[in-house]
Structure 1
């Protein structure tokens, strides 16, 4: 079988192992007449024709039909095809093939270095690749591609959680090292994922618990923003159908909420707050004030939320409908005077948890913000 030349992320051995489902060690090689460049604005590299340059990479020999099926599935999710090239291997020119985009909508940027990519994107990509390859054999590459943004967002949530540290004053000293995982099944992975764990843990008396089953709903990190205009003393609320309320039997499943959205791969919580406010409410924030970072329901949901109050100029003459049609969103926004907002909280009209928390924070900080 014709060997494959890898110039980009598949040069990262842990990623190649995940994609192939086995260990295969390629040999160094290079492709004359090209350079490896960052695709501008993206998290991956591309080949750019350059007569005076050489694209460094690796050459994979001994690929099986199953290997090729797995590689085509993984790269097919990114609309890549195989193209014939001749590379320089250890013993001279070698006819080979390389994955290239069917159509290249990207423009080459600065030179790409594998270690730079590993440092910035490696951990996230390995987690995302695991989910992509778990879909091999039960979904098409195009189906996986359609949900690739949430796959990467979920992966980023895991990476960010690994780096999160809380102050410890009265908390116990127990950590992840005090949990033993015996099995993990994922019977459902789509926009959201269902994960079933079999674990045991160290009890507060130092003894080990019995092994037990736990199921969690893996969502991905998100932010909420309550826009507040200190000059007009008004907030903006959004309203939309929430299927969770409908599924529980609530006769009024349209809920009043702050702006909210999942943190995309490569975004900070603040980046998401600004982006989602533009998308859902069509307003620009001049400042963000953090309300809290928290787990909304850690007994059954793997998600970390960061809530903000955002400072903005809220005009009566504005676009009142928002959301992305591509995601089936139908969102309206409305302005509410502060005094009425407090009454709505006290009456029970506001039942969204981040909404309640943000309003309570605003009640404590309103005078400072208006000053």
Structure 2
């Protein structure tokens, strides 16, 4: 097989093949050009008589190895075709198979760079591939493709978590080396997942605990944004139906909240905040002020919230109906005076933790914003 894109990254190839035997050598496919897919973190290949695709020839693959490769690539509308590639230092061409995308599936962008991809996307892709390949032999490649956006979102969250530099001035300086994982499972996986582990952890006495079974709901990192107009002293809230209150049995499962949403793979929290404000409320944000970022429910939930007050213009016409149609969102926005927000917090009508946090933080700091407006 000949690979021209991300599977030329040997750590990814090794993860997909999981110890199956194979041999590799550099090779070239004449008459083809490899380009970034426009607005996507992977390449595409297309015929071009004036170009050559540089890549990796992978040989001596067994049936299981091929099945694993087909599973990894198979849900994304690729088809195998035979081509003649030229290994480095060898005049004679070698017949190999290549995964070609369906015609017209992707729009080519600029020239592909494996090094640039590794620098920007390599770590996240390895995380995502680990989850993808854990489903090998359990679900179809097509189902994996449907779930892949959230798989990447979870992977990006784990990468951000590993890069955390929060201090340990009061809490114990315990880390991953103070946890022994004996077994792990994923008993539920759809849009969200549930992960379960048998583990022991370091006690404050210095000893390890007995082995216990623990589980966590796995979402993705999210942004929380409360828009505030310091000139008019107004905020914007959004309202929508929510599954959490509904499943709990709340008779009024439509909640008042800040603007919020998942941070897509490849986004920064700040760019996600601006995107979500535009999608949910058609709002353009000015300055973003970071509040304490936090875990809302660390006992059972992996979600991590990047929380902001956003200074912006909120005229009477800013309120309305919005949301992403492809996500079946139906979101109503409200523009209200700050004093009315605090009434909602005190009455319990604003029964959303991130909204309460934003409101209380703004109550402490809004005089400064108003003085500078």
| Global fold match (TM > 0.5) | yes
Give, in whole Å, the separation in 1 of the partners of 2:139 and 2:369: 51
Alignment of 1:41 with 2:39, yes or no, is: yes
Alignment of 1:206 with 2:209, yes or no, is: no
- Which of 8, 13, 18 is the equivalent residue of 1:11? 8
Give, in whole Å, the separation in 2 of the partners of 1:184 and 1:50: 47
Give, in whole Å, the separation in 2 of the partners of 1:168 and 1:318: 42
- Which of 16, 19, 28 is the equivalent residue of 1:22? 19
Give, in whole Å, the separation in 1 of the partners of 2:279 and 2:28: 44
Counterpart of 1:336 in structure 2 is 336
After superposition, the CA RMSD in angstroms is 1.7
Render the CA deviation track for 1:166-223: whole Å, top value 9, x for unaligned. 1232222212111111111111111111000111111111111111111001101001
Moved more, 67-76 or 308-317: 67-76
Counterpart of 1:69 in structure 2 is 67
Give, in whole Å, the separation in 2 of the partners of 1:145 and 1:324: 21
TM-score normalised by the chain length of structure 1? 0.94
- Which of 32, 53, 56 is the equivalent residue of 2:54? 56
Give, in whole Å, the separation in 1 of the partners of 2:94 and 2:134: 33
Give, in whole Å, the separation in 2 of the partners of 1:338 and 1:318: 15
Counterpart of 2:300 in structure 1 is 300
Alpha-carbon shift at residue 33 of structure 1 (Å): 2.4
Give, in whole Å, the separation in 2 of the partners of 1:277 and 1:230: 18
**SS of the residue 2:217 aligns to:** strand
**Is the contact made by 2:23 and 2:60 (CA closer than 8 Å) also made in structure 1?**
no
Matches within 5 A, 1:157-176: 157-176=157-176
Give, in whole Å, the separation in 1 of the partners of 2:279 and 2:210: 47
Matches within 5 A, 1:268-283: 268-283=268-283
Counterpart of 2:76 in structure 1 is 78
Give, in whole Å, the separation in 1 of the partners of 2:24 and 2:85: 14
Give, in whole Å, the separation in 2 of the partners of 1:318 and 1:105: 38
Give, in whole Å, the separation in 2 of the partners of 1:170 and 1:71: 48
Moved more, 120-129 or 102-111: 102-111
Give, in whole Å, the separation in 2 of the partners of 1:145 and 1:268: 23
Counterpart of 1:256 in structure 2 is 256
Alpha-carbon shift at residue 50 of structure 1 (Å): 4.1
**Is the contact made by 2:318 and 2:335 (CA closer than 8 Å) also made in structure 1?**
no
Alpha-carbon shift at residue 145 of structure 1 (Å): 1.6
Alpha-carbon shift at residue 21 of structure 1 (Å): 3.2
Counterpart of 1:228 in structure 2 is 228
Counterpart of 2:183 in structure 1 is 183
Alpha-carbon shift at residue 86 of structure 1 (Å): 0.9
Moved more, 286-295 or 23-32: 23-32
Give, in whole Å, the separation in 2 of the partners of 1:358 and 1:41: 33
Moved more, 161-170 or 27-36: 27-36
Give, in whole Å, the separation in 1 of the partners of 2:97 and 2:179: 45
Give, in whole Å, the separation in 2 of the partners of 1:243 and 1:334: 21
Counterpart of 1:359 in structure 2 is 359
TM-score normalised by the chain length of structure 2? 0.94
**Is the contact made by 2:319 and 2:335 (CA closer than 8 Å) also made in structure 1?**
no
Give, in whole Å, the separation in 2 of the partners of 1:315 and 1:82: 56
Counterpart of 1:88 in structure 2 is 86
**Is the contact made by 1:282 and 1:319 (CA closer than 8 Å) also made in structure 2?**
no
- Alignment CA distance shift 1:319-1:358 (3 Å): closer
Moved more, 80-89 or 12-21: 12-21
Work out the number of aligned pairs and report it. 368
Give, in whole Å, the separation in 1 of the partners of 2:353 and 2:131: 30
Moved more, 21-30 or 124-133: 21-30
Alpha-carbon shift at residue 34 of structure 1 (Å): 2.7
Give, in whole Å, the separation in 2 of the partners of 1:25 and 1:329: 49
Give, in whole Å, the separation in 1 of the partners of 2:282 and 2:110: 34
Give, in whole Å, the separation in 2 of the partners of 1:321 and 1:135: 39
Counterpart of 1:143 in structure 2 is 143
Give, in whole Å, the separation in 2 of the partners of 1:45 and 1:321: 37
Give, in whole Å, the separation in 1 of the partners of 2:253 and 2:112: 49
